[in-house]
Structures are given as structure tokens and as C-alpha cells.
């Protein structure tokens, strides 16, 4: 019983770290995209497309990290 709670706690910490990392990564991507659009407004469409693709990849990696953390717990 105690081992299950102990491992479950580590799984929750691992999942939380994955979510935290994804939030920071997507925030940084969005901030950098806004800076780039402010510098070159005519390239907004290309920048926005690249931003969405990068954010989706970061979110996918975070989801994979959450699943792995919960499976280990």
C-alpha cells in the first residue's frame, strides 16, 4: 500500500513537471512569435504557421511525458 502511494506521488510530480515544461515552452514560442510579428508584420502568416506547428510538437512531447510518468507510477 505504501509503495503504491510513494510511486503515485512520483508519477504526479513527473506529470506536473511535464505540464510545467510545456507551459513554459509554449509561452516562449508565443512570445517570440509576437516579437517577430512586431518586427515584420508582413510575415505574420508564415510566423503564425510555424508557431502553431512548434506549439503542437511541444504539446505532443508533454503529453508523451505525462503518459510515461503515469505508466511508471
Encode pLDDT of 15-66 as tens digits.
899 999 999 999 999 999 999 999 999 999 999 999 999 999 999 999 999 9
Q: Provide the residue range defining the domain that includes 32.
A: 26-73
**Residue 12: band (very low, low, confident or very high) from pLDDT cuts 50, 70, 90:** confident
Please check whether residue 42 lies inside any domain of the structure: yes
Average pLDDT value for residue range 67-72:
86
Please check whether residue 14 lies inside any domain of the structure: no
Please check whether residue 2 lies inside any domain of the structure: no
Please check whether residue 36 lies inside any domain of the structure: yes
Please check whether residue 7 lies inside any domain of the structure: no
For the chain, the domain total comes to: 1
Please check whether residue 45 lies inside any domain of the structure: yes
Please check whether residue 3 lies inside any domain of the structure: no
Task: Classify burial at 21, counting beta carbons within 10 Å of its beta carbon; exposed 0-12, middle 13-18, buried 19 or more.
Answer: middle
Query: What's the pLDDT at 69?
Result: 85
Whole-number Å distance between alpha carbons of 30 and 73: 32
Range of 1-5, 60-64, 67-71 with top mean pLDDT: 60-64
Please check whether residue 18 lies inside any domain of the structure: no
Q: What pTM was estimated for this model as a whole? A: 0.80
Amino acid at each position: 500500500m505504501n509503495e503504491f502511494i510513494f510511486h503515485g506521488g512520483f508519477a504526479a510530480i513527473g506529470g506536473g513537471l511535464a505540464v510545467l515544461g510545456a507551459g513554459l515552452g509554449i509561452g516562449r514560442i508565443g512570445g517570440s512569435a509576437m516579437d517577430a510579428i512586431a518586427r515584420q508584420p508582413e510575415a505574420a502568416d508564415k510566423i503564425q504557421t510555424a508557431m502553431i506547428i512548434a506549439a503542437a510538437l511541444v504539446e505532443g512531447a508533454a503529453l508523451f511525458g505525462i503518459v510515461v510518468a503515469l505508466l511508471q507510477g
